C-alpha cells in the first residue's frame, strides 16, 4: 500500500510535523488534563519515542508491506466526543464514496442514541454496533483473547474493523476510551495501522500485544468490556 490508497492520509503526511503536532498535543494536555506545559511536553516526547507513527520512515515502510482492510478513507473527528461517528463515516465513505462530516452524519440520524447524547457523552461499543446494524450492515462485536486470534482476524480480511480501546494503554498520549478504524495489518512486525481520528494524535502502528492490553478492562460509561466492531462485506 501507499498513502494514496487511503484517501486523506496524504493530508496528514504533509502537515507541519512535528511542530504542529507538538502544539496540538501539548495544548490538549494542558487544557483537558490540567497539566503544566512542562509536564505536557514530557508526555509528548515519550509519545514520539514510544510509537511507530505512520509519517515516520518505519511507518511508511510498514504501509508498503501491509495487508489492507476494507477502509479506504481517513479523516479526523470534528468534536471531542465523535470518534465513533467519524469512524463510521470512514467506513461509509469507503463503501459508497459518500464523504460526510460528523454534523452531516448526526443530522441523518444514523445512530441508536440522540445527537445531543453523542455530542455530550460519545458512544459505547454496543451503541455503535446497534447504529451500524440500523444502517443495514452485517456487524458483530468480537473480543479476541490472544495475539494469534487478532492475527487471524486481520491478516487477510477485507472487512471493516473499528477498535474500541484505551489510548493510554496503547501507548498514545494519555487520553481515555476511543474508537479508531483499522487500516492495515503488517505481518512482519505483527502490528496494525490505527487510523486514529483524534485531533491531537495521528495514524499509528500498534503491536498486537499492545492492542490486547488496550482492550482489557471495561468502559467506565457502559461497564462493558471493550472490543472490536467487525463489519462484514460478505
In the chain, what are the domain boundaries? 3-69+124-129+136-232
Give residue 194's pLDDT: 98
Q: What is the mean pLDDT of residues 10-18?
A: 76
**For residue 208, pLDDT beyond 80:** yes
**For residue 18, pLDDT beyond 70:** no
**For residue 20, pLDDT beyond 80:** no
Residues sharing a CB contact under 8 Å with residue 165, sequence separation 6 or more, in sequence order: 177, 178, 180, 211, 214, 215, 226
Give residue 94's pLDDT: 96
Specify the fold of 3-69+124-129+136-232.
Cathepsin B; Chain A (3.90.70)
Give residue 43's pLDDT: 86
d(CA 116, CA 209): 36
Give residue 234's pLDDT: 62
Supply the pTM of this predicted model.
Answer: 0.93
Interval 119-138: pLDDT, tens? 999 999 999 999 999 999 99
Give residue 85's pLDDT: 98
Q: What is the mean pLDDT of residues 225-229?
A: 96
Strand positions, DSSP E, the chain:
52-53, 67-68, 138-142, 160-166, 177-186, 191-194, 204-207, 227-232
In this structure, what is the dihedral angle of CA atoms 208, 74, 226, 80, given to the nearest 10 degrees?
A: 130
Using an 8 Å Cβ cutoff, are 12 and 75 in contact?
no
Angle at 95 between CA 146 and CA 143, to 5 degrees: 15
**For residue 233, pLDDT beyond 80:** no
Q: What is the mean pLDDT of residues 30-44?
A: 90
d(CA 98, CA 219): 31
Q: For 218, which DSSP code?
A: B
Amino acid at each position: 500500500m501507499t498513502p494514496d490508497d487511503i484517501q486523506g492520509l496524504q493530508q496528514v503526511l504533509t502537515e507541519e510535523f512535528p511542530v504542529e503536532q507538538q502544539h496540538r498535543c501539548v495544548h490538549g494536555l494542558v487544557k483537558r488534563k490540567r497539566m503544566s506545559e512542562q509536564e505536557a511536553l514530557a508526555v509528548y516526547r515519550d509519545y514520539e519515542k514510544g510509537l511507530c507513527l505512520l509519517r515516520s520512515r518505519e511507518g511508511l515502510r510498514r504501509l508498503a508491506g501491509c495487508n489492507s482492510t476494507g477502509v479506504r478513507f481517513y479523516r479526523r473527528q470534528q468534536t471531542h466526543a465523535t470518534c465513533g461517528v467519524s469512524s463510521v463515516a470512514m467506513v461509509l465513505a469507503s463503501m459508497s464514496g459518500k464523504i460526510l462530516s460528523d454534523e452531516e452524519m448526526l443530522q441523518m440520524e444514523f445512530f441508536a442514541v440522540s445527537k445531543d447524547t453523542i455530542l455530550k457523552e460519545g458512544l459505547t461499543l454496543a451503541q455503535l454496533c446497534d447504529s451500524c446494524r440500523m444502517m443495514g450492515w452485517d456487524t458483530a462485536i468480537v473480543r479476541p483473547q490472544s495475539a494469534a486470534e487478532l492475527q487471524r482476524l486481520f491478516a487477510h480480511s477485507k472487512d471493516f474493523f473499528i477498535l474500541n480501546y484505551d489510548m493510554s494503554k496503547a501507548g498514545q498520549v494519555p487520553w481515555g476510551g476511543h474508537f479508531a478504524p483499522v487500516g492495515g495489518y503488517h505481518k512482519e512486525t505483527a502490528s496494525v495501522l490505527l487510523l486514529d481520528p483524534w485531533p491531537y494524535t495521528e495514524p499509528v502502528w500498534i503491536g498486537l500485544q499492545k492492542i490486547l492490553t488496550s482492550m482489557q478492562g471495561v468502559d467506565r460509561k457502559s461497564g462493558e468490556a471493550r472490543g472490536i466492531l467487525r463489519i462484514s462485506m460478505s
